[in-house]
Amino acid sequence: MKIYNTLSKKKEEFIPIEEGKVRMYVCGPTVYNLIHIGNARPMIVFDTVRRYMEHKGYDVNYVSNFTDVDDKIIKKAMEEGVDASVISKRYIEECKKDMAAMNVKPATTHPLATNEIGGMLDMIETLVEKGYAYKAEDGTVYFRTRNFKEYGKLSHKNLDDLQGGNRSLLVSGADQKEDSLDFVLWKPKKDGEPYWESPWCNGRPGWHIECSVMSKKYLGDEIDIHAGGEDLVFPHHENEIAQSEAANGKTFSRYWMHNAFLNIDNRKMSKSAGNFFTVRDISEKYDLQILRFFMLSAHYRSPLNFSAELMEAAKNGYERIVTSVGNLNYLLENASAEELKDGESALLEEAGGFASRFDEAMDDDFNTADAIAAIFELVKFANTHAGQESSKAFLKALKEEIMELSDICGLIVEKQEELLDADIEALIAERQAARKEKNFARADEIRKELLDKGIVLEDTREGVKWKRA
């Protein structure tokens, strides 16, 4: 399996630190608003990377943070007259709903910055002790960038070029820096802002330190993969490397993966530019599986332009797979022969070739565009060779192969039949009758059957109520 490493600018063979295990950290969103579909790109892309690695047999420890203390969160909290934690909690919940709707698996751990302040103070203290950080007069603690000799190795920037072009990075209090390249680890509080006590001043962390600390705590000093959108290469990831490697004295991450932007009219989609659609907006028009399909139809390192036409193309593509699975289900229900018939084994062997092609594409730096093309070929093959004469074993094997490859992409391609309200009511009536006859086994069976189809029952004094989960 080859991964393009931003650090070496090359595709490299993936060799994990510990055999059979992957330690992976993905920078998560700052939570002050509903996420937009640009934020969704890294979520979908790296969830797919994780799924593929799990398919290969790796045990993946996947950590993704929520940045829950930040200027934008504080500003929104002040506008609403509530505590910053009210805002961050609200949007973490909303973000988790969007992730679930896009079939993005929850991370092994989703740490929150505000729960990890102790670890941040420890790391900053270590950096001060080692001479990599210093306190300015106003209490701000800066990282002494020039002391970290390898600074710039990820973004391939030269320190002196940075020095010249660095004016835009100047922040308040920056006149107290020893060097304009130095960046903030800890900053003094302002009125009305959340703050924590520290040896330097009452204040809050700079943004970069949280990821160094959470990665260390949940994955160890050395990890396999660190990932995020390409805007994070500089300064965020460059600064994370400086902090972690200076503090721990070890290589921070072996592989650095970055997704290209999701654009709209060839400009990066972003909250600040105002040119965005939230995941919620898209869900009003499309099944979010189609959004997922759209994201995976391009290689993750290629820019992807969002447009109505491309979403329609994604819809057609996704539905082609769904229709094929539906067709196989129909044939399965009506097939008479159980065992493989003459010639079907050979066909299944041929079909296995599409799975190999899928793996080859994914092994080549997660080329999901080619991987989806392999699924399409398999679908075409199934549509050609599956028919009323096919055996159940043959149909089942074809269906399972399509389902497995789609599942690695996180695509749900088997549509559950939606129960109509009338069917639900009828089953509830049957359950009530069963209970009256003290046939509790049947009553429980019906409750479970409904639950499997996403219908939750609630027994109340006024009778049984139900809702779709």
Q: Which positions lie near ligand AMP, rule CB under 6 A?
A: 27, 29-30, 38-39, 41-42, 228-229, 231-232, 259, 261-262, 268-270
Q: Which is nearer to ligand AMP, 365 or 401 (CB)?
A: 365
Q: Which does 229 bind (CB under 5 to 8 A by kind): ligand AMP, Zn ion, none?
A: ligand AMP
Answer with the entry of ligand AMP, Zn ion, none that 30 interacts with (C-beta below 5 to 8 A by kind).
ligand AMP
Q: Which does 211 bind (CB under 5 to 8 A by kind): ligand AMP, Zn ion, none?
A: Zn ion
Torsion over CA: 401, 405, 410, 413 (sign): negative
Q: Cα(132)–Cα(141) distance, rounded to whole angstroms? A: 10
User: Residue 27 or 104: which CB sits closer to ligand AMP?
Assistant: 27
Residue nearest to ligand AMP (CB): 229
When the beta carbons of 27 and 123 are compared against ligand AMP, the nearer one is 27
Nearer to ligand AMP, 259 or 406 (CB): 259
CB of 236 to Zn ion, least distance (A): 6
CA-CA distance, 384 to 379, in Å (whole number)? 9
Of 295 and 374, which CB lies nearer to ligand AMP in the complex structure?
A: 295
Partner whose binding site includes residue 111, from ligand AMP, Zn ion, none (CB under 5 to 8 Å by kind)? none
Q: How far is the CB of 269 from ligand AMP (least distance, A)?
A: 4
C-alpha 27/C-alpha 229 separation (Å) is 8
Residue 231 interacts, among Zn ion, ligand AMP, none and using kind-specific CB cut-offs from 5 to 8 Å, with ligand AMP
Torsion of CA 119, 120, 123, 125, to 10 degrees: -110
The four Cα atoms 162, 165, 168, 169 give a dihedral, to 10 degrees, of: 10
Environment class of 228 (CB within 10 Å of its CB; exposed 0-12, middle 13-18, buried 19+): buried
Q: Is 466 exposed, middle or buried (0-12, 13-18, 19+ CB in 10 A)?
A: middle
Count CB-CB contacts under 10 A for residue 287. Answer: 17
Distance CA 432, CA 234 (A): 62
- Nearest-angstrom CA–CA distance, 219 and 244: 13
SS3 state at 456: strand
Q: Which is nearer to ligand AMP, 270 or 329 (CB)?
A: 270
Element at 42 (helix H, strand E): helix 37-55
Burial of 85 from C-beta contacts in 10 A (0-12 / 13-18 / 19+): middle
- Residue 261 contact, options ligand AMP, Zn ion, none, Cβ 5-8 Å cut-off depending on partner type: ligand AMP
**Cβ neighbours of residue 406 under 8 Å, at least 6 residues apart?**
321, 375, 412, 413
Minimum gap (Å) between residue 86 Cβ and Zn ion:
24
Nearest distance, CB of residue 148 and Zn ion, angstroms: 17
Closer residue to Zn ion, CB minimum distance, 182 or 238: 238
With CB under 5 to 8 Å by kind, the binding choice for 269 among ligand AMP, Zn ion, none is: ligand AMP
| Residues at the contact surface with Zn ion, assessed by CB under 5 A | 27, 211
Q: What is the token pair recorded at 16? A: 């994990």
Instruction: Residue 41: name its binding partner from Zn ion, ligand AMP, none (Cβ under 5 to 8 Å by kind).
Output: ligand AMP
Contact (CB, 8 A) for 95 and 31 = yes
Residue 76 CB, nearest approach to Zn ion (Å): 21
Task: Give whichever of 223 and 443 is closer to ligand AMP, judged by the CB atom.
Answer: 223
| Closer residue to ligand AMP (CB): 298 or 375 | 298
Q: Give the shortest CB-228-to-ligand AMP separation in angstroms.
A: 4
- Smallest separation, CB 244 to ligand AMP (Å): 18
Q: Please, what is the minimum distance in Å from the beta carbon of residue 229 to ligand AMP?
A: 2
Chosen from Zn ion, ligand AMP, none, partner binding at 289 (C-beta under 5 to 8 Å by type): none
Of 199 and 303, which CB lies nearer to ligand AMP in the complex structure?
A: 303
For the CB of residue 30, give the shortest distance to ligand AMP in the complex, in Å: 4
In whole angstroms, what is the distance from residue 128 CA to residue 247 CA? Answer: 9
Residue 278 interaction partner, one of Zn ion, ligand AMP, none, beta carbon < 5-8 Å per kind: none
Write out the H or E segment, with its range, that includes residue 404.
Answer: helix 392-408
Across the chain, which distance is largest between two alpha carbons, in Å? 84
Least Å from the CB of residue 70 to ligand AMP: 9
The answer to whether 362 and 368 have CB atoms below 8 angstroms apart is yes
